[in-house]
Chain A
């Protein structure tokens, strides 16, 4: 199976280069040239206005799935509490189901969990499939997979979404393999393609440097896990049918046992992996000043860092130093508090996705690299931000 370019036909319009999801086409000698990393996906064939891109690859027949109906959401619960992402997914599922003219269902498994069905309905479930069994007290891959397989085979849904939590990411691939469908991980956006009516799954790839749109044309349900925190939840009740599904499970087919579950406070993670960094500079004043930064970091699920001065003064440990002589970081949000922004510091954080600067000196160079600057005292702004975010968060659910 290969793809090649008929150079006589090619007018170097570069449309194929833009369309190639793998960066496998470049211009060479006045015409498009297919590089070795081509996977023969065929994206270039569709866009070429001159039909100069050819292949010996026969297009695959896309099966007819018009009888598949329903957008399903895995209602993940732990210890009898629904995870927040489950409700976020219901919000998205309503939107998708609306476009397709289909219904939203929640799949709830556990032990003594029937009181959760009301919440699921409240946030949009038209139907809740509820499976209650003693063996489902703790999440276990084999038990959940078996029951979901049965349910999917019986009701034949069109779309099935799960939260990309440690449980969702354990369960989804196992289920997808079991029911022989494709799966897209960790999506940050979902939409329905208006022409094909399929689910478009958008997710970051290549360490977040690239966004990829993925389609699941050859199997149903179209399965995806979705990153917690990216979808909106709506209090928009669904029809509210509750179907108790009788779970038949034997301990010896599960093969794993949960011996104990322990809650633990999160340990600090590596700065280079942090999504949010709250950094302090000389303006923080002393070691105690970092406390208010830590509080904000906690509500934003981030890490605290500092400039060289703050490390030299002993306000924070050396492994938390950002800058040329410290660490280079690229979080999604970098909040520079009381940092003037010398070139040595900027070198370590310039590639952050969004930079916010808080400094009393409006001429501080940090403002030149910031997306948003606030010329004010960090001791006013940071606690206020913590307060507002905390307040908002408290109104919502756990994980």
Chain B
């Protein structure tokens, strides 16, 4: 029986969308700094937001590899669009999907799949980033549910989200065992969202602080078993890291393609600059690192799809691919010479957006520490 290869086909289809709908407008969208709602609606219409969820439960019946392929292709077009999509597919909706009641799914999950509602994930606090033990946003048990108090920051999608998945401490004495995720709709009394931050890159992805002041939520809004917050986070952490690595691959591809095209067109001393070995060396390094990033990342996603633990592989992929993306963006601006410094070309955007990848999914300092521990130190 002849059947198409889903991975190739999805990649081709999303690539076509990116080439036609995103790349021609990427600079314009980035300049406007507005939330790219029109493009996200189109992405929703393709059923992308449900890529990780089973078909019979309102998803698209894909897997982590397909999810990462889509993130990679979108990142090749515009990082902020990819980042918002990645959030909507995974961190923003995952616990709602697994632990929410039917009614919560009806009101929030399915609309999120259709792009009618947007989600976000509140983890980081002003005093707690990588160190989750220091999370101080509290959820105190009340008679009929919980009362949440605290401040979250660097909330991607915060300013536009309709609902939040919030990591809270229910019992500071238990430390990691007291961590739980809570579902909090934006319109719950006591929720307030700051102005969007001014950021270096991914300027159309809105990030902000979200403050919770005596926010009452029902018992149902605790996502998962009491005390399982950290365990639940661990179930998607490798996936988050692989996804971030995929975003980095997309950025590398964009930077490499622009570099090659420019090196063929731009002439110096009567020859295209691509004929000079120093430019060739840059391109060769970018291409090699891209290939290595792909191998590492998709190895991790395939392990996730097979249910094989791969935190170290995913961490390495995220660390390597992101560093390679930062280098590729940097080299791209150099190949473009003074034009790399101009706001007219994409090179500057790749350079700014590459920095976004350093933090999400774990800082490289933390990842390196974990990898070193795995290696035996």
Contact = CB atoms under 8 A, between A and B. Distances in A.
Asked if A and B form a direct contact in the complex, defined as CB atoms under 8 angstroms apart, the reply is yes
Interface of A: 324-325, 343, 346-347
A347 B265 contact: yes
B267 A325 contact: no
Contacts of B267: 343
Given A325-B27, A346-B265, 7 more contacts: A324-B265, A325-B344, A325-B345, A343-B265, A343-B266, A343-B267, A347-B265
10 contacts: A324-B265, A325-B27, A325-B344, A325-B345, A343-B265, A343-B266, A343-B267, A346-B265, A347-B261, A347-B265
A347 B272 CA distance: 12
Interface string B322-359: 00000000000000000000001100000000000000
Contacts of B27: 325
Nearest to A308: B344
A228 B344 CA distance: 42
Chain A contact residues, majority secondary structure: helix
Contacts of A324: 265
Nearest to B28: A318
Interface in B21-40: 27
A67 B123 CA distance: 88
A226 to B, nearest CB: 34
Contacts, number: 10
Interface residues of B, number: 7
A279 to B, nearest CB: 18
Contacts of A343: 265-267
A106 B261 CA distance: 53
**A-B interface, 8 closest residue pairs, ranked by CB to CB distance from nearest:** A347-B265, A343-B265, A343-B266, A325-B344, A343-B267, A324-B265, A325-B345, A346-B265
A325 B28 CA distance: 11
A350 to B, nearest CB: 8
Nearest to B345: A325
B176 to A, nearest CB: 51
A347 B339 CA distance: 15
Nearest to B267: A343
Nearest to B339: A344
A343 B261 CA distance: 12
A343 B267 CA distance: 8
Nearest to A325: B344
Nearest to A346: B265
A272 to B, nearest CB: 12
Nearest to A319: B24
A324 B266 CA distance: 11
A324 B265 CA distance: 10
Contacts of A325: 27, 344-345
A347 B261 CA distance: 9
B259 to A, nearest CB: 13
Interface string B249-292: 00000000000010001110000000000000000000000000
Nearest to B262: A324
Contacts of B345: 325
A89 B267 CA distance: 47
Interface in B14-68: 27
B244 to A, nearest CB: 29
A325 B27 CA distance: 10
Contacts of B266: 343
Contacts of A346: 265
A234 to B, nearest CB: 46
B333 to A, nearest CB: 16
Nearest to B258: A324
B264 to A, nearest CB: 9
B284 to A, nearest CB: 23
A27 to B, nearest CB: 28
B285 to A, nearest CB: 24
Nearest to A318: B28
Contacts of B265: 324, 343, 346-347
A341 to B, nearest CB: 12
